[in-house]
Structure 1
């Protein structure tokens, strides 16, 4: 180190020597370990100096100044002062070199981390990310082998990735991973520490947690570095883990976006299926003021309604709700509606009970296989008798209000379609003279909730129908939807809301 300083500061030290020679000294030199590094005038080795002054670096002798021809105390103090100055400069030079080395190392690490970020930029799977992290981390910390683990929080299959130089069994790696989960901090196992957790055949090991969304979801392990894993390697390893964490977070967000897009596509398809199968126009039935409407929820359900008007057949209407949500419910709704529609249209003498019995027979095996059911109400208007014949397969709410009475709930007298292989449906009858009112809705009305998670319920529905009974079928329907909206303000619509309003009218 002293020789390097002499090379860097030769002119200044030569100036010191010339000042001593001018002051009457015969020779001046700089020595280290008894060996001359420089001396003036040339040829004077100062083998027997009159004065020496040690040069200290951090309390240790790094060399000395030698002087011949002067022996007084002033010369001794001056020579020691110059030796102290050289020692101070020597320390500064050493610190500068250390700072330069640290800066170079830091720049190298920053460049390596940048390369790691660039390498991971286009990766879209967790496995690819872990493979890349292992390769780059091994190179940066000079480890001979590495591995990485990932345990998804959604119950998916855990992932283990190892470098080609496999040093540990999967059992050993998972044991270390769960130890990491327990300790919640990096694990450093050096041979010199004598830690019993160090696997056999491994000199040293560094295991780092990779935190994603506030929890340890992954880890990276580095094995057999030439020297012990110390603070610099730990700091670098943490930086690598942070880069891996950010990339895994990006991948998870990307996967969630893909899944959300898929779900949105499925929901759009389900909504189109549901909407396209509903009647686009209302039939004109003498003696009836009729209105129907279905308002789908964000999470599409299985609501439907249908009208069957065939020559020489009485007017038949259906409304139902298939269990489940999304595409599956929409497809099952399509099956149920088609079964009911075909029976009502093509049976020689259809009645609500016969349509129900045959539809249940056709759908039971398929519904049972996939574990679903459908509540259905089938009504038939007999114009000559001014009455409604109906069969109810577990459907609610169904509310009847005679012109001169109060609204009342009609209970279902049979189980839903798909529950029993044979259902003994029977026709029930209701008068529907001018002013009489029948409202058949799905449970999206009675089960609607407000911000306090309170349900609208049957009682509120009965009161609303009594208050609206004097209006037209369209106005009654609009009033019921408005009542639900006022009640549910601040709470999203959880289920489809579908209804048919039939009101007796003059022919």
Structure 2
């Protein structure tokens, strides 16, 4: 009887020591790897567990984090998936797992966190106050894994907060991309609408007054979405505005932009781009389309046409394989409607795309309206078509109306 009490007392002391070591490690905020090492040492040295394999589920896959007393080949052969439904400690038969005696499911708030396979624990089968040794092993494992789970949650929260800050910075940067004021007079009006797919996006539009006689209108769309696309477009805008101060030659501008995109994006980022320069003195309208959706254009109240001349997508080839600058003379008044592919690729519940034909029909119907009313009509039309389906990409439209 006295010997039994001595065994129980010694075991209780060992378990308390193990608990203190693990608690101290958690309080010291040690990394996940260190916690697993302390768990390993505590079970092997203090509790005299001879065989153990701890499997933890991460991203819907089982990974063995700690094992001792058996070869690695044994670990690979354990049919872990077969024990996912266990909720209580189970005694294993030789056919289930030859090297281990028990499998212990470790739960937290009814969620299975881990499975512990243990073997050769007959010497301490009594446990504290007659409880099985597996009871304390389960409690110790639970403490370790819940601590690790909490560390993961805390890390995820920090990452989310960092991402939010990054997103806010990108959003602020992107706000600087777009012109604060667009022309809004009786003879010249420009209106734009922008809706990112996420909080920030890779679309861009601009109006740049070059001098008293010339101005530039443009629209662009970078491959990709989110923060990287927004930052790439920020660089693109800065480069474009710098180039426009140096030259109004569209061939030179697109060649230089293409070079910068090709090498700064390592050939992995592409930008579609449309730009037009109008000279109010000579009445000449020049444009270049770099793989962008062809804008709709009406000159002197005539027929609506699309503007396709130009080159390929920027950033794909260096140098560009060809450049055709569109030149339209004697343009005393014009209407221009530009858009990015988020508009024509909007889908309804039947997964049909809005398409260019519907865009063109709306442009024809509201050709004599102001740019602002045309944009509003276009968005009303696509919103009715979508039937509340989400947009698949950023949506940007730019409309302009000029008359001498």
TM-score scaled by length of structure 1: 0.62
Q: Which structure is larger by alpha-carbon Rg, 1 or 2?
A: 1
Q: For 1:101-500, list aligned pairs within 5 A.
A: 126-127=32-33, 130=36, 143=49, 146-150=52-56, 152-153=58-59, 160-161=65-66, 166-169=68-71, 171-172=72-73, 174-175=75-76, 178-182=78-82, 184=84, 188=91, 198-199=98-99, 205-210=101-106, 218-227=114-123, 232-233=132-133, 249-283=149-183, 287-311=187-211, 314-347=214-247, 350-367=248-265, 369=266, 371-401=268-298, 407-411=304-308, 413-423=310-320, 424-430=322-328, 432-434=331-333, 436-500=334-398
393-402 vs 448-457, which moves further: 448-457
Deviations 1:26-51 (A, max 9, x none): xxxxxxxxxxxxxxxxxxxxxxxxxx
For 2:379 and 2:331, locate their aligned partners in 1 and report how far apart those are by CA, in whole Å.
23
SS at match of 2:286: strand
**Structure number with higher relative contact order (C-alpha < 8 Å, ≥ 6 residues apart):** 2
Partner of 1:87: none
Shift of 1:308: 2.4
Deviations 1:364-406 (A, max 9, x none): 2223x15111101110112235452100000115222457566
Task: Verify the 8 A CA contact 2:121 2:133 in the aligned structure 1.
Answer: no
Task: Assess, with a 3 A threshold, how the Cα gap between structure 1 residues 293 and 287 changes in structure 2: closer, same or farther.
Answer: same
For 2:220 and 2:285, locate their aligned partners in 1 and report how far apart those are by CA, in whole Å.
17
For 1:309 and 1:133, locate their aligned partners in 2 and report how far apart those are by CA, in whole Å.
68
Shift of 1:245: 6.1
Task: Verify the 8 A CA contact 2:267 2:316 in the aligned structure 1.
Answer: no
SS at match of 2:281: coil
Shift of 1:471: 1.3
SS at match of 1:208: strand
SS at match of 1:220: strand
Partner of 1:69: none
Deviations 1:173-199 (A, max 9, x none): 6325x422345456756xxx7779545
Shift of 1:210: 4.4
Shift of 1:421: 0.8
Deviations 1:127-152 (A, max 9, x none): 46645666787899873565534353
Q: For 1:10-25, list aligned pairs within 5 A.
A: none
Task: Verify the 8 A CA contact 1:448 1:494 in the aligned structure 2.
Answer: yes
SS at match of 1:227: helix
Shift of 1:332: 1.2
**Aligned-CA RMSD value:** 4.3
SS at match of 1:150: strand
For 1:125 and 1:502, locate their aligned partners in 2 and report how far apart those are by CA, in whole Å.
59
Shift of 1:446: 1.3
Task: Assess, with a 3 A threshold, how the Cα gap between structure 1 residues 361 and 194 changes in structure 2: closer, same or farther.
Answer: closer
213-222 vs 315-324, which moves further: 213-222
Task: Assess, with a 3 A threshold, how the Cα gap between structure 1 residues 446 and 194 changes in structure 2: closer, same or farther.
Answer: closer
Gaps of 5+ in 1: 1-107
Task: Assess, with a 3 A threshold, how the Cα gap between structure 1 residues 210 and 425 changes in structure 2: closer, same or farther.
Answer: farther
Deviations 1:87-116 (A, max 9, x none): xxxxxxxxxxxxxxxxxxxxx9xx999999
Aligned residues, how many?
383
Shift of 1:268: 1.9
Task: Verify the 8 A CA contact 1:129 1:247 in the aligned structure 2.
Answer: no
Task: Assess, with a 3 A threshold, how the Cα gap between structure 1 residues 126 and 486 changes in structure 2: closer, same or farther.
Answer: farther
For 1:155 and 1:124, locate their aligned partners in 2 and report how far apart those are by CA, in whole Å.
24
Task: Verify the 8 A CA contact 1:437 1:504 in the aligned structure 2.
Answer: yes
